[in-house]
Amino acid sequence: MPQSPEPIRIAVVGVGKIARDQHLPALASNDDFRLIAAASRHGTVEGVPNFGTIEALLADIGEIDAVSLCMPPKFRFDAARAALEAGKHVFMEKPPGATVSEVEELKRIAERQGVTLFASWHSRYAPAVEAARAFLQASTLTSAQIIWKEDVRRWHPDQDWIWQPGGFGVFDPGINALSIMTHIFPAMFITDASLDFPANRDAPVAAKVLFRTSSGAPVVMDLDWLQTGPQSWDIHAETDRGTMLLSGGGAKLAIDGVVVHDEPETEYPMLYKRFSDLVRSHTSDVDLAPLQHVADAFMLGKRNVVDEFR
Ligand code: NAP
């Protein structure tokens, strides 16, 4: 019988909301990984050695194979570079960085070091995304509308970084929509954008972004962070084969009103399966298309000043 490979010895860095909600449970249920340490300025993980910085972790524990970087994007580059330079495989939460160029640089370092760099996009692993992709690949898209409206107070309580430059504002959830759109739609580019900045913040609370696909189909994306009550994470597409609705952030697919795919989500277990496959096959996966669209929206977008956010 073939022997299963040794588990990948991994450390989690930036122990906050997403590390606790998703990364630690996903790692605990995956035999392909062994969590052997954590690094965070304040957060800790029970049962493993904890360090205040990634530099201290890398200096102390030589036998680590990989790190999972769960801090906000603006603070990820230095940590990723330190890990790559130390010869470790790197898993990065979304968005992979605060700028496109810094992630390009990480790609070059990973290649030079011969280690895996994984820029993860968790929404791409939502259960109905592949079925939507298959439907659209066999269809001609004529138009699309993306409605991504959620309550920032519910999902990002007390997170200051998200309102700062490089924090992305409403594009922090919006990039999840973009990660699905860039996976299932034909190539597209932004033609117009309008971004609403609260008078007391440096990141937008709402945005409207217009795209055109390479064949000319219009795509409209509406982002809003002040939606209370039911939350909307929907992608509507009109095609020559009918109307597609991918709802629930990619969980459920309906064609002409008939549900054809609806399963519970397992996004983070699938992300770690992907990371393990990448490490074992000595490859990287760094798709910057969603981040490039956010950069383009900031570059092309008209800036409106709206009510303060308290
Ligand atoms: P968070 O809890 O505010 O931040 C995670 C941890 O990063 C913090 O607890 C903090 O740990 C560390 N950190 C914060 N500022 C730092 C700095 N200046 N330098 C170094 N470390 C810093 O945020 P989060 O919600 O987990 O989000 C982190 C990433 O996950 C973001 O990129 C976000 O888009 C992504 N994500 C979040 C969610 C969600 O539901 N919140 C869902 C999917 C993906 P220490 O203070 O202990 O260092």
Tens digits of pLDDT across the chain (310 residues): 567 789 999 999 999 999 999 999 999 999 999 999 999 999 999 999 999 999 999 999 889 999 999 999 999 999 999 999 999 999 999 999 999 999 999 999 999 999 999 999 999 999 999 999 999 999 999 999 999 999 999 999 989 999 999 999 999 999 999 999 999 999 999 999 999 999 999 999 999 999 999 999 999 999 999 999 999 999 999 999 999 999 999 999 999 999 999 999 999 999 999 999 999 999 999 999 999 999 999 999 999 999 999 9
CA atoms of 156 and 243, how far apart (whole Å) = 33
CATH of the domain at 17: 3.40.50.720
Question: Among 78, 104, 119, which residue terminates a domain?
Answer: 119
**Domain range for 108:** 8-119
Considering the candidates 94, 107, 149, 273, report the single residue annotated as catalytic. 94
Tell me, yes or no, if 94 is annotated catalytic.
yes
Longest Cα pair distance anywhere in the chain, in angstroms? 65
Question: Among 119, 134, 149, which residue terminates a domain?
Answer: 119
- How many domains is the chain built from? 2
Both tokens of residue 225?
């962070």
Q: What is the DSSP letter of 230?
A: S
Place of tokens 């969603």: 290
CATH of the domain at 251: 3.30.360.10
Both tokens of residue 138?
């066999």
**Ligand 1 pocket mutation pick from 18, 92, 94, 158 by most atoms within 8 angstroms of CB:** 18
Please give the torsion angle defined by the CA atoms of residues 135, 284, 93 and 22, in that order, rounded to the nearest 10 degrees. 80
Q: How far from 36 is each of 25, 180, 182, CA to CA, in Å?
A: 14, 32, 35
300 and 174 part of one domain: yes
Cα of first residue to Cα of last residue in the chain, in angstroms, is 61
Tell me, using a 6 A CB cutoff, whether residue 245 lines ligand 1: no
pLDDT at position 2 is: 60
Question: Among 72, 88, 119, which residue terminates a domain?
Answer: 119
User: Is the CB of residue 195 less than 8 Å from the CB of residue 303?
Assistant: yes
User: Is the CB of residue 272 less than 8 Å from the CB of residue 30?
Assistant: yes
Tell me, using a 6 A CB cutoff, whether residue 155 lines ligand 1: yes
pLDDT at position 1 is: 55
pLDDT at position 62 is: 85
Within a 13 Å sphere around the CA of 274, how many CA atoms are in the beta-carbon half?
A: 20
Tell me, using a 6 A CB cutoff, whether residue 43 lines ligand 1: yes
